[in-house]
């Protein structure tokens, strides 16, 4: 009986889901590093900070319940609190209590946060364009749909 050894290529072909997830994780790490570098050197923001400002800017009234922000960022409630503290100290984000329910708190984007976000958006868009320049718009749209499915994103929680 002849034993055949598996090559790395045959392992990849035998489990496309794993290969996809590993490549997705690597792509995320590379893109995060590139975005962190551009945003921190020009605007003093991490990519994580930018994502907070992005979601608040898109929200109605530039405010979100903290628990909704945590869901959009993929964080726990305590994780979003730790993320927001430095932004609050810089005056980019403020806390707003719900007048009808003391258990509910909002994160609100301040005027300074809106200004910094607008400036940082230009840099983030430039890095994103550069990173995806070899990919067609149709493929980007299709892949965005796949990522949305994996993340459980739908029209009410984007």
Asked, for residue 146, whether it belongs to a domain, the answer is no
Question: What's the angle, vertex CA 151, arms to CA 88 and CA 47, rounded to 5?
Answer: 35
What pLDDT does 1 receive? 55
What pLDDT does 99 receive? 82
Full pLDDT tens readout for the chain, 158 residues = 555 555 555 555 578 999 999 999 999 999 999 999 999 999 999 999 999 999 999 999 999 999 999 999 999 999 999 999 999 999 999 999 888 887 888 999 999 999 999 999 999 999 999 999 999 999 999 999 998 898 886 544 45
What pLDDT does 157 receive? 47
What pLDDT does 10 receive? 54
What pLDDT does 103 receive? 80
Asked, for residue 41, whether it belongs to a domain, the answer is yes
Asked, for residue 71, whether it belongs to a domain, the answer is yes
Bridging pattern class, strands 63-65 and 93-98: unpaired
What pLDDT does 155 receive? 47
Asked, for residue 52, whether it belongs to a domain, the answer is yes
What are φ and ψ of residue 41, in 5° steps? -70, -30
Q: In 3D, which of 117, 113, 118, 54 has the Cα closest to residue 86?
A: 113
- Tally helices (H) and strands (E) across the chain: 7, 3
Q: In 3D, which of 150, 138, 158, 141 has the Cα closest to residue 20?
A: 150
Asked, for residue 2, whether it belongs to a domain, the answer is no
Q: In which residue are the tokens 């993929």 written?
A: 74
Domain limits for position 82: 18-130
Asked, for residue 83, whether it belongs to a domain, the answer is yes
Number of folded domains in the chain? 1
Q: In 3D, which of 124, 43, 48 has the Cα closest to residue 82?
A: 48
Which CATH number fits the domain that encloses residue 30? 1.10.10.10
Three-state DSSP state, 102: strand
Asked, for residue 141, whether it belongs to a domain, the answer is no
Asked, for residue 25, whether it belongs to a domain, the answer is yes
User: pTM above the 0.85 mark?
Assistant: no
């Amino acid at each position: 009986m002849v034993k055949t050894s598996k090559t790395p290529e045959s392992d990849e072909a035998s489990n496309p889901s794993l290969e996809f997830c590993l490549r997705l994780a690597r792509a995320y790490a590379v893109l995060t590093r590139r975005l962190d570098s551009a945003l921190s050197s020009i605007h003093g923001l991490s990519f994580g900070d930018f994502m907070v400002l992005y979601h608040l800017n898109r929200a109605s009234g530039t405010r979100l319940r903290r628990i909704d922000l945590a869901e959009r960022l993929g964080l726990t409630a305590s994780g979003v609190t730790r993320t927001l503290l430095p932004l609050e100290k810089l005056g980019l984000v403020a806390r707003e209590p719900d007048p009808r329910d003391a258990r509910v708190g909002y994160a609100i984007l301040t005027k300074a946060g809106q200004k910094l976000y607008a400036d940082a958006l230009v840099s983030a868009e430039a890095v994103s364009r550069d990173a995806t320049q070899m990919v067609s718009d149709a493929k980007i749209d299709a892949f965005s749909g796949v990522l949305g499915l994996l993340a459980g994103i739908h029209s009410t929680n984007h």
